[in-house]
Amino acid sequence: AQSVAQPEDQVNVAEGNPLTVKCTYSVSGNPYLFWYVQYPNRGLQFLLKYITGDNLVKGSYGFEAEFNKSQTSFHLKKPSALVSDSALYFCAVRDAGANNLFFGTGTRLTVIP
Residue 20 binding other proteins, by CB under 8 A: no
Residue 9 binding other proteins, by CB under 8 A: yes
- Do 69 and 86 contact (CB within 8 A), yes or no? no
Task: Please identify, using beta-carbon distances, which residue of 17 and 105 lies nearer to other proteins.
Answer: 105
| Rounded Cα distance, 100 and 74, in Å | 18
Task: Please identify, using beta-carbon distances, which residue of 43 and 113 lies nearer to other proteins.
Answer: 43
Site for other proteins in 48-107 (CB under 8 A): 49, 51, 90, 94, 96, 98-106
- Do 38 and 90 contact (CB within 8 A), yes or no? yes
Cross-strand pairs, 32: 94
The full DSSP string for 49-93 is EE-SS-SEEE-GGG-EEEEETTTTEEEEEESS--GGG-EEEEEEE
Selected range binding other proteins among 17-25, 35-43, 61-69, 74-82, rule: CB under 8 A: 35-43
Task: Please identify, using beta-carbon distances, which residue of 17 and 60 lies nearer to other proteins.
Answer: 60
Binding residues for other proteins, per CB under 8 A? 4, 9, 32, 34, 36, 41-46, 49, 51, 90, 94, 96, 98-106
